[in-house]
Structure 1
Amino acid sequence: MSTANLTQRPDVTPAKRPTEPSKTRSTLVWLGLLALVGVSAWLSGARWSELGSLFTEGWRYFLLMGQGLVHNPFSEPYSEYWTLAFDKMMESVYMAWIGTLMGALISIPFGFLAARNVSGRVTVQVSRAFLNLIRAVPELVFAIVIMLPILGFGPLAGTVALGVGAVGTLGKLTAEALEGIDMGPVEAVRASGASKVSVLRWAFWSQVLPEVLAFWLYRFEINIRASAVLGVIGAGGIGSLLSQLFSKREWEQIGITLAVIVIVTVLVDMISGAVRHRIIAGSAKSERRIQEETVAL
């Protein structure tokens, strides 16, 4: 039956177009966010009038820092600059690696204690409150208030601060991964009469291990950047070198140091990203073997 015939029948009424939802609420929310940003910018006390100098004076500093990059890196004194920058950057990488391992190992038991499908209600609340407290305190505060007075200046204080800071994030992510597992294997292992430790090891931990390893690698990338900041307060790494160079205004060496930071950070990100993808997705050979077995069945 055509549309024209439907409209001619008295007992059939054409469908009405639904009313468009009101956009008043979303508009008010966006206006409120814009007002909040404006108030925050005003209360920050920043000299926004000087922002234009970034385009008039900032290029001069970029040219000064770039002068160190156009010289032969094997000539004196630039070979010493490159060597020193790489040594300090590798010190930051070592700090990030040891700190990540320390935080990862400590976060494993806290992840189990904070998971709702593993621990009791009171244990979960206490564990989550502890992890929230650690995440609320930046690594910089850990280093200044606790680590430096106890361990003194140097990479050890920065490493421990990075490790403690990683516990809060990795513990929370581990708990969330445990809460999202398939409970079927868990019930099967329990039904077989396995002990509680065996259930945690083979039913819980085996399911979340690839995802947790990816979290650890991602935290390692974050700690590399954080180690550069900790070095500014004397906690070792590339940040301590940058602090000294900026105080002396050694622009050529500053440019070389920043270039080393960028190069090493990009390389670490690429390697870590490839490893994370390999852990989560598996190798191409494994995928092809699974597909062949599926087709054969």
Structure 2
Amino acid sequence: MRTPGSRARGARPTPPSKLRSTLWLIISGAIVIWAVWQVGARWERVGQIFTEAPRYVGLMGQGLVENPFAMPWSEYWSKSLTLMIESLQMAWIGTLIGAVLSFPVSFLAASNTAPRPVVLVTRQVLNIIRAVPEIVLALVFMIPVFGFGPLAGAMALGVGSIGTLGKLSSEAIEGIDTGPVEALQATGASKVRILRWAVLPQVLPEIVAFWLYRFEINIRAGAILGIVGAGGIGSILKQLFDGREWERIGITLVVIIVVTVIVDQISAKVRERIISGPGAASKATIPEPVAD
């Protein structure tokens, strides 16, 4: 017999109230609308993007259809390629500096390899480094010391890389399998031997992949540093935009895009090989044997 107020067997429970989620959705939407209104953007000009952009693309494309082996176009291509190679060199040196300096720091920032006070201080230092853009590092610290040129840009990229690489590497160290560590501790191995034989083999492939990823980021960052006189292809971009030389701007942008895409593809293949191992691709294509 059903008692008053009892629920019939099999009846669906009362769904929870959606009032709170609805209120939060309304408040969030109101905040977004208010923020868009406060930006003060000229929304009536949005349509000009579709009319002006093709015109500028056409102006930049005029240099691409010219004979790259005839003067002065051959000089433009040569100059852009030379400065892009300089940007690659800056990015590579900056990545090496960041990798070498961040590698020991990452162990000091990991909670399972360093005392807590050391971890807290090291993490704050890494946070401060990550908070400062590379262009500020170049303007405030590197150019006054090393002068204008690619060396200042490479040093700025190197210091900026320490913050990111140190954080990512410390997180990889904290995520290791503790089994090998406990096994070596049971044998009475020293702290250095535990790091060498239990921690390092687990995290090194991932850390190297972080280094390669940071190299890709430094290529893009290095192209901007030239605007403030820190070397690289950004130095010529500023001059070209100031002079409205759209044909040369098109050539320079194509060089930047093509070289960056090629480096990204090569770096992605190397990272995949490091993380997955040499036989990962072949193992993935071999079908499993079917039992009789």
Give your verdict on TM over 0.5: yes
1:111 shift after superposition: 0.6
Looking at structure 2, the residues matched to 121 and 54 of structure 1 have their Cα atoms a distance apart, in angstroms, of 53
User: 5 Å matches for 1:33-182?
Assistant: 33-182=28-177
Larger mean CA deviation between 115-124 and 144-153 belongs to 144-153
- Name the counterpart of 2:255: 260
1:177 shift after superposition: 0.6
Residue ranges of structure 2 left out of the alignment (5+ in a row): none
Looking at structure 2, the residues matched to 104 and 194 of structure 1 have their Cα atoms a distance apart, in angstroms, of 28
AA matched with 2:255: V
1:77 shift after superposition: 1.4
Residue ranges of structure 1 left out of the alignment (5+ in a row): 1-8
Aligned equivalent of 1:212, options 174, 193, 207: 207
- Name the counterpart of 1:4: none
- Name the counterpart of 1:16: 11
User: 5 Å matches for 1:233-248?
Assistant: 233-248=228-243
Q: How big is each residue's C-alpha offset from its partner over 1:91-141, in whole Å with a ceiling of 9 and x where there is no partner?
A: 111111110110111111111011111111111110111111111111111
1:57 shift after superposition: 1.9
AA matched with 1:166: S
Q: What is the aligned-residue RMSD (CA, Å)?
A: 2.5
Larger mean CA deviation between 253-262 and 184-193 belongs to 184-193
The structure carrying a bigger helix percent of its residues is: 1
The 1:36–1:137 alpha-carbon spacing in structure 2 relative to 1, beyond 3 Å, is: farther
Q: How big is each residue's C-alpha offset from its partner over 1:139-191, in whole Å with a ceiling of 9 and x where there is no partner?
A: 11111111111211111111111111111111011111111101111122233
Aligned residues: 285
1:199 shift after superposition: 1.4
1:24 shift after superposition: 3.8
- Name the counterpart of 2:245: 250
SS of 1:193's partner is coil
Looking at structure 2, the residues matched to 180 and 61 of structure 1 have their Cα atoms a distance apart, in angstroms, of 49
The 1:39–1:13 alpha-carbon spacing in structure 2 relative to 1, beyond 3 Å, is: closer
The normalised TM-score by structure 1 is 0.88
Larger mean CA deviation between 16-25 and 236-245 belongs to 16-25
Looking at structure 1, the residues matched to 226 and 279 of structure 2 have their Cα atoms a distance apart, in angstroms, of 41
The 1:104–1:28 alpha-carbon spacing in structure 2 relative to 1, beyond 3 Å, is: farther
The 1:149–1:37 alpha-carbon spacing in structure 2 relative to 1, beyond 3 Å, is: farther
1:38 shift after superposition: 3.6
SS of 2:62's partner is helix
Looking at structure 2, the residues matched to 121 and 285 of structure 1 have their Cα atoms a distance apart, in angstroms, of 38
Q: How big is each residue's C-alpha offset from its partner over 1:196-236, in whole Å with a ceiling of 9 and x where there is no partner?
A: 22211221111100111111111111111111111111111
Larger mean CA deviation between 218-227 and 21-30 belongs to 21-30
Looking at structure 2, the residues matched to 27 and 67 of structure 1 have their Cα atoms a distance apart, in angstroms, of 54
Looking at structure 2, the residues matched to 229 and 40 of structure 1 have their Cα atoms a distance apart, in angstroms, of 29
Identity %: 60
Q: How big is each residue's C-alpha offset from its partner over 1:73-102, in whole Å with a ceiling of 9 and x where there is no partner?
A: 122211111111111111111111110110
The 1:50–1:158 alpha-carbon spacing in structure 2 relative to 1, beyond 3 Å, is: same
The 1:104–1:285 alpha-carbon spacing in structure 2 relative to 1, beyond 3 Å, is: closer
Looking at structure 1, the residues matched to 40 and 122 of structure 2 have their Cα atoms a distance apart, in angstroms, of 39
AA matched with 1:116: S
